[in-house]
Amino acid sequence: MYSLLLAVIYFIFVSLGLPDSLLGSGWPTMQVAFGVPSSYAGYVSMSISFLTIISALFSPRFIRKFHTKNIVVFSIFLSIVGLFGFSFANSYAILFLFAIPYGLGAGAIDASINHYVANNYPSSVMNFLHCFYGVGAVISPNIMALALKHAKWNQGYRWTAYIQTAIMIVVVLSLPLWAKNDNKTGEDSVQSVGIRKTIFVPGVIPTLIAFYAYCSGECTCFLWTSSYFAGTKEGLSDGMIASFGSLIFAGLMLGRLISGFVSDRLGDKLLIRVGIAIEILGIIIIMLPVSGYVLAAAGFVIIGTGMGPVYPSIQHMAPEKFGKEYSAAVIGLQMSSAYVGSTFMPTVFGIIQQHIGIGIMPVYLLIFAVLNIGLLEYSYKVSGNKA
């Protein structure tokens, strides 16, 4: 039963990844349909991320008051509402209305499941968990590409909503498994310290800023990879451009799959160091002055592969590095900090590329990769190097 519950948790993270890559992969076509500038994708993404920050900040309170299983079911329901809303949007303004459930659903489920796994499973499980996030995020750009080929962009959101509905039904049917495992996982016995006390724990603040830097780069890739190919490579169809939105997610999935097999042996810190080195290699490959799209496509996969272990490894370190009593608040703060990066920095990049050109994207990514590793190394020192 315990293993079956873990399978359901993996399935939940597929649902978490499904909505995240739709906007970036569909935006080149949506932009034309709505008649707005390319940078306007950033404002929608920013709205979704802002609401995700709000729900992530409240996640320690939700975890204390509600079981993870209840948070998950309600969060998936909210994402379904957001996806269906996007699919029926006939104007740019409507997207902001349905960004509310879209964003609120993501933050609560992300923080609660990450807290649950970090406290009850080894590092390998955390990496495999985020690998399944990549599965969902790889599937949806291809759903969008299929919709653009055979229907319209709206159907990409609608078909994804149908899949989310099926996943929610599976989670509802699995509720007895959660009840049987509540005592075994010790979810109710974990005492959480509040955010105000947690913020002053040594090493927390630089870790939060590092998370901000990581997600700034990651979500810039999520939103702008398809547009990068549209703006720098010639002769590509709309469907092919949309499918390139899955490159970064394919890399993330691959990186987390590999990390799942080696993480218990290598440890979280070494995985992060190796991952960021691979990420920087991918960025350098994209910078090479080659006219075709193949090398750039490989570069984005390599970037995603390097990014793969960073997010889950930082979160998995939280209970050991800061203590279990702080882990719910630390992970909630990490999620909030991450979404601050994903809220503002892809939008900032949208404004920059509109004036300078989207070819500046690799330089933008490199800045955040260097900032990420520098702050994490500093956090190890000030926290006493416990993890």
Confirm if 324 and 118 have CB atoms less than 8 A apart.
no
Residue 190 has pLDDT above 50, yes or no: no
Q: Which of 75-79, 89-93, 359-363, 383-387 shows the lowest per-residue confidence on average (mean pLDDT)?
A: 383-387
| Residue 384 backbone dihedrals phi, psi, to 5 degrees | 85, 10
Q: What is the pLDDT of residues 257-315, one digit of tens each?
A: 888 888 778 888 899 999 999 999 999 999 998 888 899 999 999 999 999 889 888 87
Looking at residue 197, its pLDDT comes to 74
- Structure-token pair, residue 283: 């960025």
Looking at residue 285, its pLDDT comes to 95
pTM (predicted TM-score): 0.71
Looking at residue 387, its pLDDT comes to 47
Range of the domain at 249: 2-382
Confirm if 286 and 150 have CB atoms less than 8 A apart.
no
Looking at residue 194, its pLDDT comes to 65
Is residue 83, in this structure, part of any structural domain at all? Answer: yes
- Structure-token pair, residue 100: 């509310």
Residue 181 has pLDDT above 60, yes or no: no
Q: What is the pLDDT of residues 8-34, one digit of tens each?
A: 888 888 888 888 778 888 888 899 899
Is residue 8, in this structure, part of any structural domain at all? Answer: yes
**Mean pLDDT for the stretch of residues 53-79:** 79
Q: What is the pLDDT of residues 106-163, one digit of tens each?
A: 777 777 787 777 777 777 787 788 778 778 877 888 898 898 888 889 999 999 999 9
Is residue 207, in this structure, part of any structural domain at all? Answer: yes
Looking at residue 189, its pLDDT comes to 45
Mean pLDDT of the chain: 83
Is residue 387, in this structure, part of any structural domain at all? Answer: no
- Structure-token pair, residue 264: 């218990």
CA distance 91 to 101: 18
Q: Calculate what percentage of the chain has a pLDDT beyond 90.
A: 27
Which of 314, 311, 251 is CA-nearest to residue 283?
Answer: 251
The structural domain count of the chain equals 1
Is residue 60, in this structure, part of any structural domain at all? Answer: yes
Confirm if 109 and 59 have CB atoms less than 8 A apart.
no
Looking at residue 195, its pLDDT comes to 65
Angle ∠(161,126,378) on CA atoms, nearest 5: 115
Q: Calculate what percentage of the chain has a pLDDT beyond 70.
A: 90
Looking at residue 166, its pLDDT comes to 93
> Residue 366 — very low, low, confident or very high, per pLDDT cuts 50/70/90?
very high
CATH number at residue 62: 1.20.1250.20
